[in-house]
Structures are given as C-alpha cells and as structure tokens.
Amino acid sequence: MKDKFIETFRKQVTRRGSEKLLEWLESTDFFTAPASTRFHAAYEGGLVEHSLNVYEVLIAKHFDVDKDDLESFTIVSLLHDICKAGFYITEYRNKKNEYGEWEKVPYYTVDDKFPYGHGEKSVFLIERFMKLKFEEAVAIRWHMGGFDDSARAGSFAIANAYEKYPLAVKLHLADLEATYLHENRSEG
C-alpha cells in the first residue's frame, strides 16, 4: 500500500515541494497509522489504504479526462487525511482471553499532538511544503461534509464551498463511499 501510494503520488504530483512533503510524510507514522480508532480501517496501515480507496473512487466515479486535472484529484484524495499522521497512539487494556486468563490487548486511541482541526489541519500541513490551488484547499478543508465540526455548529461556509467548487463535493462523496461502502467497519 505504501509503495502504491508513493508511486501514484510521484507519477501524478510534480508540483514544487511535493518531494519534500513526501519525505516529511515518511518521517511520520502516516504509512503505519490506522484510519480511525475503531470505525473504519482501524488497523496498522489503514490510513494509507483509506487514502488510496478515496483516490480510486474519486478517479473512477468523478474524474473527467477531458476537463479535470489529474494532479489536483490525486493531491486532494491522497492527502485529505494527512491530519491523522501523529494522531493515534496504541494503549493497552486488560481483557480475558479464551482460557479465562487476563491479557493485555492493544487498542488505538487519539493523542492529537497538533489540535488544529481536521480538514483545516491537512491543508496547513500540506501548505508547509507545497502550494495548493484554492479549489484543492477548499476541497480538503471541507471533505468531512456535514460531519465537520463547524458545519455541525451551523456554519454556512460549507454550502458556499460546495457551490463554488465541484471538486469539494466530489471529494466528500468519494470519502463517504470509501469509508462506508468499501472499508471494513467491524471492530479490529
């Protein structure tokens, strides 16, 4: 999965700073982190797998070869959740095994080292290395759709974003589909 991510990214993203961004990603736990603590792809490597799933859905369902920019579609899908690098840690709890003996069992929990939000944090982290187009930044910022904290608190900015930038709608749809239709949702 890691190889596939890097290969796709290198081939399709050639913008200045992209190599530095990749280098930084490799220095984090991005390629081993889960995609969530228990809701979807909650296992080692789940995050990179989820990012590739979103990329596949976005390209398969929403990419128009004649009109759309492959670099933009690759950036927003592969990088939308990089805010989850350095976000999860493994802890242990005691659980009885099949022989009735207590055992230490690992589980994921959140330890956000840089609490800057979700979509907004991904945008910030990317921008430290590589410039985003407005459309890309907006798409990543609002990829959570109605699950976004400020959207839930009543912000209308998301409606303006979706009206102005179709890519933002497409990324949210691809994220939803990958998460709810293609990924393992049972507790790991």
Residues binding Fe ion (CB under 5 A): 81, 175
Contact (CB, 8 A) for 47 and 35: yes
CB of 173 to Fe ion, least distance (A): 12
With respect to Fe ion, which residue has the nearer C-beta, 13 or 78?
78
| Cα–Cα distances in angstroms (integers) from residue 135 to residues 31, 61, 131, in the given order | 26, 19, 12
Q: How far is the CB of 141 from Fe ion (least distance, A)?
A: 11
Of 39 and 92, nearer to Fe ion (C-beta) is 39
Closer to Fe ion by CB, 63 or 148: give it. 148
Task: Find the shortest distance in angstroms from Cβ 122 to Fe ion.
Answer: 8
Nearer to Fe ion, 38 or 93 (CB): 38
CB of 105 to Fe ion, least distance (A): 26
Please name the residue that has the structure tokens 């490597």: 45
Closest contact distance (angstroms) between CB of 147 and Fe ion is: 8
- Cβ at position 175, least distance to Fe ion in Å: 4
Residue 13 or 171 with smaller CB distance to Fe ion: 171
SS (H, E, C) the chain: CHHHHHHHHHHHCCCCCHHHHHHHHHHCCCCCCCCCCCCCCCCCCHHHHHHHHHHHHHHHHHCCCCCCCHHHHHHHHHHCCHHHCCCEEEEEEEEECCCCCEEEEEEEEECCCCCCCCHHHHHHHHHCCCCCCHHHHHHHHCCCHHHCHHHHCCCCHHHHHHHHCHHHHHHHHHHHHHHHHHCCCCCC
- Which CB sits closer to Fe ion, 95 or 185? 185
